[in-house]
Amino acid sequence: MKIGNHDYPVKQAVIIGMGTFLLAIAAALGSQVLLANLGPIVLKFVILLIIIFTGIVFDIIGVAAAVASESTFHAKSARRMFGAEQAVRMARKADQVASFSNDVVGDISGTLSGAMGTAIIFEIVTGPLDSHILIAGTVMTAFIAGLTVGGKAIGKNIAIQHADEIIFRVGKILAVVENTLGIRIVGDSVKKGRK
């Protein structure tokens, strides 16, 4: 199957789908444990906001990766600037970075935020399942949707205007993680011949 000018193997799509499935299960179980063990409703609401914010941040990273200029990072990598090699790999694998950031993390964040919003409503609103639940649920859904869509709209504008800077900063974070864990997270090594 071809998408644009890039081959997109079915095997890769299946791996991404299965990975998303497993990540969603882990994230859902984790959020349910948090909901069950966090006492005050305020803390649960803060977790909901963190999930929404995470989706927005990864959406910014995905858009920035698609827009960023790989050549900018080659110059930084030639000067051995910390995080530049990771930034080159992110720009080179922009389709994979965008797919993971926007689709995988974005969809999981959206699903989790909706589930957590529902759980919070059922805890706040007591009594029989009547119009109060309906109204509260509608307001919560609108709140989550408005914050998510509005945040991503602002985020996309920031990502387009500051793509190179964003990817370079993420590259620095990846460099710290890769150096600490001793693993390569995105793409292949940057070859000198391609600089």
Q: Extract the tokens encoding 88.
A: 């080159």
Its domain, for residue 167, covers 2-194
| 149 contacts: CB under 8 Å, gap ≥ 6 | none
Residue ranges of E strands in 4-112 = 6-7
Q: Which of 25, 1, 46, 22 is nearest to 112 (CA)?
A: 25
Give, as one character, the DSSP assignment of residue 6.
E
DSSP state of 7: E
Q: CA 104, CA 55: separation in Å to the nearest integer?
A: 10
Number of domains composing the chain: 1
The Cβ of residue 142 has, within 10 Å, a number of other Cβ atoms equal to 10
- The residues that bridge with 6 in the sheet, in sequence order, are 3
Tell me if the pTM is above 0.85. no
3-state secondary structure of 187: coil
Q: Over its length of 195 residues, how does the chain's per-residue pLDDT go in tens digits?
A: 344 444 556 666 676 677 767 777 776 676 666 666 666 788 888 889 999 999 999 999 999 999 998 888 888 888 888 988 999 999 998 888 998 898 888 888 888 888 888 878 877 776 555 667 778 888 888 999 999 999 999 999 999 999 999 999 999 999 999 888 888 887 665 554 443
